[in-house]
Structure 1
Amino acid sequence: MKIALLGYGRMGKEIEQIALQRGHEIVIKTSGKENYDISKADVAIDFSVPTSAYNNISNCINNKIPVISGTTGWLERYDDIVSLCKQKNGAFIYASNFSLGVNIFFELNKQLAKMMNSLKQYNTNIEEIHHTKKLDAPSGTAITLAEGIIENSDKKDWVLNGEISEEIIPITAIRTPNVPGTHTITYVSEVDTIEIKHTAHNRQGFALGAVIAAEWLVNKTGVYTMKDVLNIG
C-alpha cells in the first residue's frame, strides 16, 4: 500500500515506522505547504495542524484518495468534509484518537455513563494530561469522552477548567513534558470515588491504529469511525 503522510511531525514519524514494518511504502511526506501529487498514494494519513487539515482532507477527497485524519482543532468544518465526501463518493475516517485501547476505553466510558446516570449523588469530571508541545486543549480525546457521557446521561455540556455541576462536565487539561496521553474519568460522591483511566506509554499505539484504519479504508467509500474499523460498540 502506498501511503501519503500529511504531517511529518512526531506522530508522522511513528506512523512511518509502523507502516514500513507492515510492508507499506511511504510515497509522500509533507510537513508544511509543500506541493505534492496526492494521486501517487493509495491512501493518505493526516496528522498535520488545524490550519492545514481541512485543505489536506478535501484535496484527498477531490482526488478520490481515501483519507484518515487524527488532527484535532479543525472540527468546525467536519460537516463540510462529510458533505464533500458524500458528494464525491470518497472515503474518510476521522478519529480524535486511533489507539485501539483508547477506542475500547471510549465504549467503557459510554457504558459507565449509562450506569451512573440515575445515581445523582455522583459528580463527573475528566482529566487529561499531555506533553507540553500539544497545541490544543482540551485534547480531542477528552472531548470525545465528554461527548460520550453527554450522549448517555443527563449531562448537557462540558467546560474547560470549570466547576463541577449537575449538568456540566469539567475537563482539566494538564501539560507536562514527555507524557504521550493520560485520560481519567472520575465519578465522585461523599462516600466514594469511581474512576476509569487510560494511560498511553508511547505513541506506537496511536500509530498502529492509524495504519490499521488506513488499511481498512482502502477500496471503501463512505464516512466511517474507529468503531467501524474495530467492529465494536
Structure 2
Amino acid sequence: MPAERPRFEPAPQPAARPAGMAALPGEEAVVAAREAARSAASLDELRAILERFEGCNLRQTARRLCFADGNPEARVMFVGEAPGRDEDEAGVPFVGRSGQLLDRMLASIGLDRTGAYIANVIPWRPPGNRTPTPQETEICKPFVLRQIELANPDVLVFLGGAAASAIVGTTEGITKLRGRWLKHQVNGREIDALPTLHPAYLLRQPLQKKFAWRDFRQLKAALAKGG
C-alpha cells in the first residue's frame, strides 16, 4: 500500500448564486467542460478548475464542491454517482450513512481511506438528492474521466449502475452487472473495473449486502494478485 496521504480538506465555497442565473446551454457546457478538464495537469489543478467552473447548473444550488477523499496514490479508486446532503455540507464524498457503510465495507477487506481514493461522477449535490439529469451527467463526465486519468489507479470500483454507465457506457442494470469485471482505457492501458451495489442501495435493501460482500472479496483478491 502507498504511504498515507492526508485526506482532502473541503475548501470554503462561495454562496450559491440565485436560481435565475442560468448555466451555459447544453452542448456549449459539455464542450467547455471537456476543454477545462483536459487543461488540468494535476488533481489539484482539476479541483481548482471545478471550483471555478460555471457550466453546470448544480453548482448554483449546492453548498460545496465534493471533489474527492482518500489517497490519490491508492491502487483502487471508488466512483459513485453524486453527493447527498451530508456530503454537500462537508464538501467530502461519502461521509453520511452511505459513507459509514462504505468504510465498514473497506474495513472488511483490510482497507480504509488511506488505501483508497473516492469520488463521484457528479461533484455537486442535486437539489433534494434527485437523480442527475443526462445533461448534468454529460457536463460533469469529462471531469471525472480526467480525475481517473490523473489518479491512474490499478482498479476502479463503480458504486452503482449510474457510475458504470457514465464511465464505461454500459446500459445493464446494476443487479445484473455487479460482480462482472469490465475494462476502462486510461493513459494507453486497460484498468480493471468492478461494478458493485451502491451503499445507499444496501441501506434500503440490506439482504443484498451478501452480493456486495462477494464483490469486495473479488476486489481483495485482485489487489492481492496485483501486488
Place the TM-score, normalised by the shorter chain, in its bin.
Answer: 0.3 to 0.5
Q: Which has the higher strand share?
A: 1
Give 1 or 2 for the bigger CA radius of gyration.
1
Q: Which has the higher helix share?
A: 2
Task: Give TM-score scaled by structure 1 length.
Answer: 0.32
Task: Give TM-score scaled by structure 2 length.
Answer: 0.33
